[in-house]
Amino acid sequence: MIRYAALCLLFLSAPVAAQDMTLPVGSRQLSDRTSPLDSYDLPTGPFADGRVPARAMEGRVERITWRLQAGSSTTLQLLAPLRSQIVAQGFEILFECAARTCGGFDFRFGTEVVPTPDMYVAIQDYRFLSAARDGEALSLLVSRNPPDGYVQMIRVSPVDTVTPPPPLVIEEPVTRSDDLLSGLTQDGHAILADLHFRTGEITLGDGPFASLELLADFLKDNPDMRLALVGNTDDTGGLEANISVSTGRAQAVRARLIEKYGVAADRVEARGIGYLAPITSNATPEGRDLNRRVEAVLLVN
């Protein structure tokens, strides 16, 4: 178990008072990409006029992500205690938004996000916050993929005043490939959560997509395995139309694996099943967003 105070100590290098709060058992740090000298565009407003307004920052840049067991907690419930700690330490909140007010898809792909599987962002269920204090700046991005919650912190510190963050003891650190490949080998299927398609379109974005590289490496290391890519949609529209869209998206992913990553055509197939296999209710925008996905299904020769 990670104590909540310890998590806040990692966010803020200055000391903070201990809290009688804990993160759920099993919370894990997924990644730590720290650069001693780098730049970061700190978002300061919602997507507008074709871009996300941002403040260019330079210094030591820390990019850290965590996964926690969120249960039924909302993204606001996940963000609120972290925000309180930031304000208590003298940070000024520059900008804060929820998915729709941020700009939805355009804000998500117009700002920096650590690649999947180290960070997951549901297009219609995330919250963002940016703050600054005496030349130091940070942003928090919180999202959910029930039952898990994800937190990303990007912090920029002036190089001449950097204080190394205190160590944080975590349980069973996971590597970039653990979530995807363990799900594929243990459960027989895994969601390719970093893929993105615009609503109603079947063209896969430019990427790069870490999940596809992992799948290509997995097939190379396991010549007796094949994959089926299965496209899924929400329940908006008729079944026949949704099957067509979901099939097209799965075929686009298959083509990318073959053309860019050199996967043999007979090692991967593509199918679409429309809205017939939801992972959650389609009654909410958040649920529909989660149901629009492409999954990899493991096949053994």
The confidence score (pLDDT) of residue 253 equals: 93
How far is residue 26's CA from residue 95's CA, in Å, rounded to a whole number? Answer: 31
**Same structural domain for residues 137 and 109?**
yes
Q: Is the dihedral of CA 120, 123, 125, 129 positive or negative?
A: positive
User: What are 275-298's pLDDT values in tens digits?
Assistant: 999 988 888 877 787 888 899 999
User: What is the CATH classification number for the domain harbouring 273?
Assistant: 3.30.1330.60
pLDDT confidence of residue 27: 62
Alpha carbon distance 301, 267 (integer Å): 10
**d(Cα 47, Cα 100) in Å, to the nearest integer?**
10
pLDDT digits (tens, 9 = 90+) for 92-111: 999 999 999 999 999 999 99
In this structure, the answer to whether residues 46 and 149 fall within a common structural domain is yes
Do residues 104 and 148 both lie within one domain?
Answer: yes
pLDDT (average), residues 110-122: 89
pLDDT at residue 3, rounded to an integer: 37
Q: How far apart are CA 81 and CA 100, in angstroms?
A: 22
Say if residue 263 is in the same domain as residue 140. no
> Same structural domain for residues 115 and 251?
no
Query: Of 116, 131, 161, at which residue does a domain stop?
Result: 161
CATH number for the domain harbouring residue 34: 3.40.1000
What pTM was computed for the model?
0.51
- Measured CA to CA, the distance from residue 127 to residue 125 in angstroms comes to 7
What range does the domain containing 266 cover? 178-300
Nearest alpha-carbon partner for 129 in 100, 92, 157, 162: 92
Q: What is the pLDDT of residue 118?
A: 83
Q: Is residue 35 part of a domain?
A: yes
For the chain, the domain total comes to 2
| 283 Cβ contact partners less than 8 Å away, ≥ 6 residues apart | none
Looking at the structure, tell me whether residues 86 and 16 fall in a common domain.
Answer: yes
Q: Are 132 and 182 in a shared domain? A: no
Task: Give the helix/strand (H/E) hosting 88.
Answer: helix 75-88
Whether residue 138 is found in the same domain as residue 262: no
Q: Is residue 237 in some structural domain?
A: yes
Tokens in use for 197? 């398609």
Confirm whether 166 is domain-assigned: no
Q: How far is CA 66 from CA 13, 73, 81, 151, 246, in A?
A: 18, 16, 15, 5, 31
Of residues 301 and 210, more confidence is placed in: 210
For residue 192, tell me if it sits in a domain.
yes
Report CA dihedral (109, 277, 266, 208) to the nearest 10 degrees: 10
β-bridge partners, 125: 122
Q: Which residues pair with 3 in a beta bridge?
A: 22
Considering the chain, what is the average pLDDT of its residues?
81
Q: Are 14 and 86 in contact (CB under 8 A)?
A: no
Average pLDDT over residues 117-121: 87
Other C-beta atoms closer than 10 Å to the C-beta of 267 total 20
The pLDDT of residue 177 is 46
Longest dimension (CA), the chain: 61
Nearest to 218 by CA among 176, 185, 173, 256: 185
pLDDT in tens, 190-246: 888 888 765 567 878 777 788 899 999 999 999 999 999 999 988 888 898 889 989
Kindly state the tokens that stand for 258.
Answer: 């073959």
Beta partners for residue 268, in sequence order: 227
